Amino acid sequence: MGDILVGTCSWTDRELVGSGWYPVGRRDAEGRLRHYAERFPVVEVDASYYALPGERNSRLWAERTPDGFVFDVKAFSLLTGHPTRSAVMPDGLPADSRDPGVLDAVWARFAAGIAPLRRAGRLGGVLFQFPPWFRPGARAEAFLADTARRTEGWPVSVEFRHPDWWREGRAEATRALLARYAMAAVAVDMVQSLPSSLPPVVHVTSPRLSVVRFHGRSTAWGTGSKEDRFRHAYDEGELAEWVPRLERAAGQVEQLHVLFNNCCGDAAVRAAETMARLLGLSSPADRPGPFVPFRQDPLPGGPPGVTPRPRRPQRQEHEHSDR
């Protein structure tokens, strides 16, 4: 059984900071991250989608979190074919993903920005979330091949937003494509009544990593404001539906990352706490020793090796009462 790491898709979201979840005295940048990391073993960095990550921030994140804590870093928007503001481009470069020189420069900046996390063994994965117009076909497959070449040695996960990738008759080809590059398919929980809805199925495509992201079940997905799209408070029954799926997936991979993206107030952290309890997981503070994730080879490159690591404590039997 692989290790299940439960967390959220941000620790700096404005609504979370304003919800009161962070105690007085721990509301500055360092205090927030330390408080979060005492309660969860993984977090997703979403700021790296909007602006290239910086080496200084990555180094500080590694220094401010305990051994074994990992960051899943969302790929910069230009690297997934999303519109990108010129203001966030480095060195005055144009936001033109079709220019090979621009792409090379942005990839180099992104790699340098996450290098401190890789050196510290804190890079849980790099998430490539593709836009709804990224649909199956030769151009998309060529894009994935180039991404695989540029990310060799990184733990990579891929979230498709176009439903054709996982439609009946196509899903097996999608699984095979991601498996060819050892990329982890991202499963999602979302409302199921929309034409763009993706099925709640976990496709394991890498023995190393699998990722499930809980977006909430708002019917405003894809149309409303950010608050409308992600406004959902999971109840225990909705989360319990996922427990057998998560346990099956964990039986096939080294690590399963379960991340909550319903970022309205403290809804995501509360859902993550409930899911961890349903799965019988202890919090990082309760572990007798540090959890050690798969370690990566020293930079500059080469595929990261998988090294023996301590197992986390035996999972508790399921209890559906608070404790």
In sequence order, the 6+-apart residues with CB closer than 8 A to the CB of 92 are none
Q: How many CB atoms lie within 10 A of CB 15?
A: 18
> Model confidence at 315, in pLDDT bands (50, 70, 90)?
very low
Q: Percent of the chain beyond pLDDT 70?
A: 85
d(CA 294, CA 208) in angstroms, rounded, equals 9
DSSP annotation string for 269-285? HHHHHHHHHHTTPPPGG
Within 8 A by CB and 6+ apart from 202, the residues are 185, 187, 210, 212, 245, 246, 248, 249
The predicted model scores a pTM of 0.87
Backbone angles phi, psi at 86, to 5 degrees: -60, -30
Q: Output DSSP code: residue 191.
A: -
Query: How do residues 244-269 score in pLDDT, each as one tens digit?
Result: 999 999 999 999 999 999 888 899 99
Quick one: fold of 3-286? Answer: TIM Barrel (3.20.20)
Amino acid code (one letter) for 90: P
Chain segment 23-64, per-residue pLDDT in tens:
999 999 999 999 999 999 999 999 999 999 999 999 999 999
Stretch among 3-7, 153-157, 185-189, 286-290 having the lowest mean pLDDT: 286-290
Band of pLDDT at residue 305, cut at 50, 70 and 90: very low
pLDDT value of position 287: 52
CB contact at 8 A, 60 and 113 = no
What are the CA-CA distances from residue 267 to residues 39, 233, 238, 270, 272 (Å)? Answer: 15, 5, 14, 5, 9
> Residue 67's pLDDT is what?
94
Q: What is the dihedral of CA 166, 167, 169, 173, to 10 degrees?
A: -20
CB 94 within 8 A of CB 178: no
Q: Quick: pLDDT tens for 215-255.
A: 888 776 667 666 666 777 899 999 999 999 999 999 999 99
69-112: pLDDT as tens digits: 999 999 999 999 999 999 999 999 999 999 999 999 999 999 99
Task: Give the three-class secondary structure for 159.
Answer: strand
Residue 320 pLDDT more than 60?
no
State the average pLDDT over residues 174-183: 98
CA angle (51 as vertex; 146, 11 as ends), nearest 5: 110
Lowest mean pLDDT among 55-69, 261-275, 276-290, 291-305: 291-305
pLDDT score for 299? 53
Residue closest to 136 by CA, chosen among 157, 163, 156: 163
